[in-house]
Structure 1
Amino acid sequence: MNTASAHRPLTRALLAGATALACLTLGACGSNPPQADGGKKDSSAKESKLPELRKDPELHKMLPEKIRDAGKMTSVNNGSFPPYEIAGSDGRSLTGASADMATALGQLLGVKIDHVTADGLPSSLTGIKAGRYDLALGPVGDFKDRQKSNDFVDWVREYVVFAVKKGNPEKIESLGDTCGLRIAVMAGGSAEGVIKEQARRCKKDGEKAVRVQSYKDQPGSVLAVRSGRADAFFSSQAPLTYFVKEAKGTLELAGTGESNGFDDLYQGAVVPKDSPLRDVLVKALKKLIDNGTYGAVMKKWGTSDNALKEPGVNLGGEA
């Protein structure tokens, strides 16, 4: 037998093991690695069909001429904000509550809404401001500093909590319990600013500062907790509830029912400042609420507790 051939299986096995170890260490092998989200998505939710809507001629006329002529517009997403945004590996397919809302909005407005996945929230916001994308349906956290360059059409109310290992070994009950701990957050997100301020507060009070770990996506942050590299992941409750469910008993939520550095937290679609799309989206979302489509989408994806009675513009306060 050829000696080199005999060692090829072993070499391949070692390489595979090294690759798996690198993924575990870096959290960087794909936007939604199975280790992060616990495996298969909720196929029953994805298969549930929503009724098709008729085009509203008046809303269609309100769209910018460029979009009407093209018959489509582009919505950018971050790829890993379940159950709202669950991006496919091709970077252009999307499932989740936001995808269903986009389908309904497209039918109502009489245009197709294409999805593009960007490399993190800062890239999405910069791309909208620069005109590379028409909007981000989101929902994206609405804060005063972000309203300087963009307008928000809010359609969700959120809460910020922690995902921790089962049993909550570090006994995190609120933001005040994080001094000296390793806390994962999404880079550029509102939770990152809050946890960094908490780190300064801890140090000022003579305690050990929070060790902030910033990741470009949610799965990388969840993986850090599951692998023991972080003590908790600090983020929105809706996606963390999804990740905890998919983790099959290895994770749980902590700090629920607390403000955790936030007051009223609104999230919504993002459009360029003073874009005519802002008013179109407000009217279209209001119609989806009135005709029951919005409620059906939120129920389908388990986010009914995050629903608003009506959409609003720039409802968010300070981060």
Structure 2
Amino acid sequence: MTVRTARRSAAFRSRASAVGVVAVTGALLLAGCGDQTDDSGGGSDSGGGKSSLNAELPQKIRDAGVIKVGTDAAYKPMEYKEGGDIVGLDPDLADAMGKELGVRFEFSNGTFDGLITSMQTGRFDMIMSSMTDTKDRQEGLDDKGKKAGKGVDFVDYLTAGSSILVKKGNPEKIDSVGQMCGKKVATQRGTTSHEILKKQTAQCAKDGKKKIGIEAYDNDDEARVRLKAGGVVADISDFPVAAHAAKSGSDFEVVGDQMESAPYGIAVRKDQKKLRNALKSALEKIKEDGAYDKALEKWGVQDGAIDTVKINGGS
């Protein structure tokens, strides 16, 4: 995954095998990964009486009563494990959307840079994992602009940018990536923050300076452990995650401005337009009734609120 200028001065980032499944609202896990291509045909309407939006879902999902979600649950406050549950803003928003759709959302934990591939093979119906909506992801391109797989569609639900997290007191006096040439910096593999560092290290070389020693980890928790130990001078991650890490203890602080602010999106396969549109309707509904704002306020990310729900609004 790649991902995240700020359209909002205080806005917010992005991020295979699944290793665990947790139901957002609690319940039995759904077995099987059958194909869920759009199906508007007849059949039982297991959730029709629960919600006016249930009929907008593909029939197979209506019959199952479950939407399977891929995520990387190591990204506080967006999604993370607490005990045996996956909690955070994304699960809370999914729970509110599920009530509108008359279905449950079941989250499966996996590695971020493998989520799209896993969804394309049918393991998940959608991805909700602080994933930045980018044209490259929409078109299935790699970081060099070459075709790397099938593209996805996004339903955008939050705005976020990348931030610089440093040790408390900022001993290296860093406040921008332009100061990182020749230094070691941590990030999460496959994220927009990772791409920012790749671009900057190329610029360092072009300017005749030493390249950045990029240390890319499977999750941001590992990157912060490395920073705390002094092995790197900074960790680049999405603003909500960096801000949460800084506020949760006395080890870190956020410095500089947010970079490349962009929308987070719920990702679905290109052949799942009916599911995509139903998710958009549910998100619009929870924005109207206040559940969306309530969830953002709970997790302290109000400044990332979107004004309008868009499909593929990333650039």
| TM-score (norm: length of structure 1) | 0.77
| Other-structure match for 2:117 | 126
Q: Write the letter of the residue equivalent to 1:288.
A: I
Q: Is contact 1:289-1:309 (8 Å) kept? A: no
- Report what 2:16 is aligned to: none
Unaligned segments of structure 1, at least 5 residues: 1-30, 32-53
- 2:100 equivalent to 1:108: yes
2:280 alignment counterpart:
282
2:56 pairs with 1:59: no
Distance 1:57 1:252 in 2: 44
Structure 1 residues 228 and 197, CA gap change in structure 2 (3 angstroms): same
DSSP 3-state at the match of 2:130: strand
- In 2, Cα distance between equivalents of 1:217 and 1:139: 12
Judging by fraction of residues, say which structure has more helix.
Answer: 1
Q: Kindly indicate whether residue 50 of structure 2 is the aligned counterpart of residue 74 of structure 1.
A: no
Distance in structure 2 (CA, Å) of the matches to 1:81 and 1:312: 24
Tell me if the contact between 2:162 and 2:237 (Cα under 8 Å) persists in the aligned partners. yes
Asked whether the equivalents of residues 51 and 99 of structure 2 are also in contact (C-alpha less than 8 Å), the reply is no
Q: Percent identity?
A: 31
Q: 1:253 maps to which residue?
A: 254
SS in 2 for 1:101: helix
Superposition map of 1:158-177 within 5 A: 158-177=160-179
- Is contact 1:161-1:235 (8 Å) kept? yes
State the match for 1:225 in structure 2.
227
SS of 1:312's equivalent in the other structure is coil
Alignment partners' CA distance in 1, 2:49 and 2:291: 14
In 1, Cα distance between equivalents of 2:176 and 2:287: 33
Q: Does 1:269 align with 2:261?
A: no
Structure 2: segments with no counterpart, 5+ residues:
1-18, 20-47, 140-150
> Which SS does the other structure have where 1:75 is aligned?
strand
Please provide the CA RMSD for this pair: 1.7
Q: How many correspondences in the alignment?
A: 257
Q: CA deviation at 1:310?
A: 2.0
SS in 1 for 2:246: helix
Q: Distance in 2 between matches of 1:289 and 1:280?
A: 14
Deviation at 1:231, TM superposition (A): 0.8
Secondary structure, counterpart of 1:164 in structure 2: strand
CA distance in 1, matches of 2:136, 2:279: 21
Q: Give the Å deviation of 1:76.
A: 1.0
In the alignment, the residues of structure 1 paired with residue 49 and residue 286 of structure 2 have an alpha-carbon distance, to the nearest angstrom, of 12
- Matching residue of 1:140: 131
CA deviation vs aligned residue, 1:48-80 (integer Å, no higher than 9, x gap): xxxxxx976331001111111111111111011
Counterpart residue identity of residue 138, structure 1: S
Q: Contact 1:55 / 1:108 at 8 angstroms: preserved in 2?
A: no
CA contact (8 A) 1:75 1:113 kept: yes
On the 8 A contact 1:164/1:225 being kept in 2, the answer is yes
Is the contact made by 1:79 and 1:85 (CA closer than 8 Å) also made in structure 2? Answer: yes
CA contact (8 A) 1:289 1:310 kept: no
CA distance in 1, matches of 2:173, 2:292: 37
Q: Which has the larger radius of gyration?
A: 1
1:115, distance to aligned residue in structure 2 (A): 1.0
- Which residue identity is paired with 2:255? A
Match of 2:207 in 1: 205
| Number of the residue aligned with 1:19 | none
Residue identity matched to 2:114: S
Deviation at 1:139, TM superposition (A): 2.5
